[in-house]
Amino acid sequence: DFTTLATREANCREEVRLNRRLAPQTYLGIVPLTQDDAGVLALDGCGTVVDWLVVMRRLPAERMFDRMLQEERIGAPETDQIADLLARFYRRAHHPAVDPAAYVGRLMAQQAENRAILTNRAFAVDPARLPTILDRLDQRMTEDHPLIEERARTGRIVEGHGDLRPEHICLTDPIVVFDCLEFSPELRLVDPFDELAFLGLECRILGVPAIGPKLVERVANQLGDHPPPRLVAFYTAFRAVLRARLSLAHLLDAAPREPAKWEPLASRYLAVAEESLR
């Protein structure tokens, strides 16, 4: 809810609180945007507060994880440092009580939405393979949902980052992970290995498929939590289908940006999903 000044202030404060978990030196606080009697806007100036803004320290573009992956500047030390940071984060994260059936139900609802958008006749994305991919993902969800429910029942679900992509990681000293999903507490409730599968998927799309398994292995060893490989593969496939859906959803906008980009990108995600479901 961003409709009132009070709720926008509260949302800014929550954004800072949540992001300071992994980026304490980057999120500096919040500041009011003010307007004086002459209509001049200023940060923390005189006059009436008309909005609130989050104050962040600028991060160096050349140290962004996605850029470093594309430029082949990531090796074992950097991968280990990211894994170590995330392992500490998940170990200390809030482990809320989660209704197992509701948690799996949320995944099923997302999959139903995936199917609805991906099979939209306006799109021509892998029409020969798409039904098989979606059916296999449904089957795997049916087969694996007792395992996912068990992980929820035994406290494996954490309040995570919610949008753990390479473009949200900066390899400074210390490493910064920023721009968490502050607006949806529900979507921040994740199995850490679902979130790691998502990060590995995005690294794979950027051309570095080896990163994901290394992150999973190192974090698993540090947490003492070793989910079955088939569960991580399911999470990867699920995230890939979701990302394919979100890619195509751009084309439902009245005036989509970069319209030629989205169908090929969706096809790449679906190819990863298909491979992960084998």
pLDDT at position 128: 87
pLDDT at position 32: 98
Distance between CA 261 and CA 219 in Å, rounded? Answer: 34
Q: Is the peptide bond before 174 cis (omega within 30 degrees of 0)?
A: yes
- pLDDT tens track, the chain, 278 positions: 788 999 999 999 999 999 999 999 999 999 999 999 999 999 999 999 999 999 999 999 999 999 999 999 999 999 999 999 999 999 999 999 999 999 999 999 999 999 999 998 888 788 889 999 999 999 999 999 999 999 999 999 999 999 999 999 999 999 999 999 998 999 999 999 999 999 999 999 999 999 999 999 999 999 999 999 999 999 999 999 999 999 999 998 989 999 999 999 999 999 999 999 99
| Distant-in-sequence, close-in-space partners of 182: CB < 8 Å, separation ≥ 6 | 11, 14, 15, 18, 19, 162
Q: How many CA atoms lie within 13 A of 223 on its CB side?
A: 27
Q: What is the CATH number of domain 61-276?
A: 3.90.1200.10
Q: How large is the greatest C-alpha to C-alpha distance in the chain, in angstroms?
A: 66
Distance between CA 73 and CA 68 in Å, rounded? Answer: 5
Residue 6, exposed/middle/buried by CB under 10 A (0-12, 13-18, 19+)? exposed
**Position 120, amino acid:** N
Where in the chain do CATH 3.90.1200.10 domains reside? 61-276
pLDDT at position 124: 77
Distance between CA 103 and CA 140 in Å, rounded? Answer: 16
Distance between CA 104 and CA 90 in Å, rounded? Answer: 20
